[in-house]
Amino acid sequence: MAKFIGRRLIYSVGVMIATSIIVFGLSRAAGDPRHLFLTEYTTTATWDAWGKEYGLDRPFIVQYVIWMGRAVRGDFGTSLRDHVNARTVIWEKVPATLQLTVSSFIAAIVIGVPLGVLSAVKRGTVWDYLGRTWALLGQALPPYWLGVMLVLLFAVTWNLLPSSRRGDWTHFVLPTLTLAWGSAAAMLRLTRSAMLEVLDSEFVKFARSKGSTNPMIIWKHAFRNALIAPLTFSGLLLAGFMTGTVVTETVFAWPGLGRLAVQAVFNNDFPVLTGVVLLVTAIYLAVNLMIDLTYALVDPRIRLS
């Protein structure tokens, strides 16, 4: 296990370095960033001052090494829009993203997994058809359309819930439903497929022949062995929620990382954008490592190998 963790950590460092090179290179792909913010009327003294302040008067490799050295310490530079440290701008959005992530992730798991188990156990019944129909609709409805419809019904027509912004628990209901709807539907389908495969296996038939009770067969024998696929998806789901969902945050004006990244692109705010991308990459790598370690806890065969 220690060797496995060591290999994954080395792999993660390599991915972070490759990501940083790509991101930094793209930020310089259009040429000197000074051309975006300075006009032809800019004096030579101002041009040279910007180059000295942001290190733009040095070769590309030197610029990258200097920038990477600061990024390792969490210093991504000064936001070109807010004129404060980019790290401050990013961390101000993290709490909002984490709150929405937790609520949406819990809703997707609590709804999707039990319905997937029920649909597999009641295969061919009305419960199965209802679950499959809901899963189809859940994955077919675009998030932006669903979000707008929820705002139209619950905020505009019935005036029951707020339409946007971050506030008390009522502000979480509509964006949480929008995020969790499609994710819960996908979780239902994955759980159902995995459960059906395990329920038809020989060791489950053997457990039935020994007289094991139906709840024990479902939850102890079948569900645990069917967890690998839903577990993988739940990890990617968690990482996706944590890194911000652009559409949902835009529809509900939610002050999270996804909306911040879009604003950074429109404003050509390279320090903020590169900081968000590196943070997103680090979150995905951490979640993938956590999933791999969880595999070993769920399936002894993986732990022994």
How is residue 183 written in tokens? 């994710």
20-34, 132-146, 147-161: range with highest mean pLDDT: 147-161
Tell me the C-alpha distance between 30 and 25, whole Å.
10
The total domain count for the chain is: 2
Residue 56: what pLDDT? Answer: 72
Residue 219: what pLDDT? Answer: 85
pLDDT of 304 strictly over 60: no
27 and 164 both lie in a single domain: no
With cut-offs at 50, 70 and 90, classify the pLDDT of residue 106.
very high
129 and 237 both lie in a single domain: yes
Residue 37: what pLDDT? Answer: 65
How is residue 204 written in tokens? 């489950």
Q: Is residue 147 part of a domain?
A: yes
67 and 145 both lie in a single domain: no
On average, the pLDDT of the chain sits at 84
Q: What is the pTM of this model?
A: 0.80
Q: Is residue 278 part of a domain?
A: no
41 and 131 both lie in a single domain: no
Tell me the C-alpha distance between 202 and 214, whole Å.
16
Residue 270: what pLDDT? Answer: 82
Can you tell me the mean pLDDT for 166-179?
A: 89
47 and 157 both lie in a single domain: no
**Host domain of residue 49:** 2-72
Share of the chain above pLDDT 70, in %: 91
- Give the C-alpha distances (Å, rounded to integers) separating 190 from 193, 196, 234, 255, 257: 5, 10, 10, 31, 28
Can you tell me the mean pLDDT for 171-197?
A: 91
Tell me the C-alpha distance between 280 and 23, whole Å.
12
Can you tell me the mean pLDDT for 123-145?
A: 88
Q: Is 161 helix (H, G, I), strand (E, B) or coil?
A: coil
With cut-offs at 50, 70 and 90, classify the pLDDT of residue 72.
confident
Residue 192: what pLDDT? Answer: 93
Pick from 44, 72, 100: which residue ends a domain?
Answer: 72
Residue 294: what pLDDT? Answer: 79
With cut-offs at 50, 70 and 90, classify the pLDDT of residue 73.
confident
Tell me the C-alpha distance between 16 and 278, whole Å.
7
Can you tell me the mean pLDDT for 255-259?
A: 86
Q: Is 78 helix (H, G, I), strand (E, B) or coil?
A: strand
Residues 217-244: tens digit of each pLDDT:
888 888 888 888 888 888 888 888 876 5
128 and 224 both lie in a single domain: yes
99 and 213 both lie in a single domain: yes
> Residue 158's domain is classified under what CATH number?
1.10.3720.10
With cut-offs at 50, 70 and 90, classify the pLDDT of residue 63.
confident
Higher pLDDT among residues 304 and 138, named by residue:
138
Polymer length of the chain: 305
Alpha helices by DSSP H, the chain: 2-27, 34-37, 44-54, 60-72, 86-121, 126-140, 143-150, 170-199, 202-209, 214-216, 223-225, 228-242, 246-251, 257-266, 270-298, 300-304
Residues 30-43: tens digit of each pLDDT:
666 666 666 667 77
Can you tell me the mean pLDDT for 133-139?
A: 86
Tell me the C-alpha distance between 144 and 248, whole Å.
7
Whose tokens are 């949406």? That residue is 104
143 and 57 both lie in a single domain: no
How is residue 240 written in tokens? 């996706």
Tell me the C-alpha distance between 53 and 80, whole Å.
13
Residue 200: what pLDDT? Answer: 85
**Which residue, 300, 291, 173, is CA-closest to 233?**
291
Tell me the C-alpha distance between 77 and 163, whole Å.
35
With cut-offs at 50, 70 and 90, classify the pLDDT of residue 255.
confident
Angle between helices 86-121 and 170-199 (to 10 degrees): 40
114 and 148 both lie in a single domain: yes
pLDDT of 117 strictly over 90: yes
254 and 111 both lie in a single domain: yes
Residue 195: what pLDDT? Answer: 92
144 and 214 both lie in a single domain: yes
Q: Is residue 292 part of a domain?
A: no
20 and 148 both lie in a single domain: no
Q: Is residue 78 part of a domain?
A: no
